[in-house]
Structure 1
């Protein structure tokens, strides 16, 4: 288990959650692939703006939602904070 990745997964499910699945235990891994992609992008130097843009793309284009959740920028800032402060192992 990688603490940074687990923290991002938790953040996506419990704070971003644009489709509202956090309350359903069977959907606990709904955003894991997105979290992994962001985790990898962080190691490649992704910025908060790039992460926010990715989350917006996910919501509008990939998930087909009609409006943004409004949480993308705040979540991106929290992802950067996780990346900078959480130990890797």
Structure 2
């Protein structure tokens, strides 16, 4: 799959935001855990590219928090992360 430079940059930003800002497990200060959230980047990217209001991205982050990781819900924090991701998406839009 050929991806635009902007999409490649957006993937990188999603990875960084999930690791350094979202970080529900509190591992952002551990270099050994730098890849902890990598597997969530592709789905977050797909949802982010398709969303209009970000609610589906927020729902995905909520699901990851509660079902995948079992750390509990933090809807307010998830909403802040989605807002940041959408700003990156808009900044890097083709």
- TM-score bracket relative to the smaller structure: 0.7 to 0.9
Mark the CA change 1:42 to 1:26 in structure 2 (over 3 Å): closer, same or farther.
same
| TM-score normalised according to structure 2 size | 0.81
Q: What CA RMSD, in Å, does the superposition of the two structures yield over aligned residues? A: 1.9
Report what 1:37 is aligned to: 43
Partner of 1:3: 9
Question: Which structure is richer in relative contact order (CA contacts within 8 A, separation 6 or more)?
Answer: 1
TM-score by length of 1: 0.85
- TM-superposed CA distance for 1:33, in Å, is 1.5
Residue 16 to residue 40, structure 1, CA distance change in 2 (3 Å): same
| Structure 2 unaligned regions, length at least 5 | none
Unaligned runs of 5+ in 1: none
The alignment covers a number of residue pairs equal to 87
Shift of 1:87: 5.4
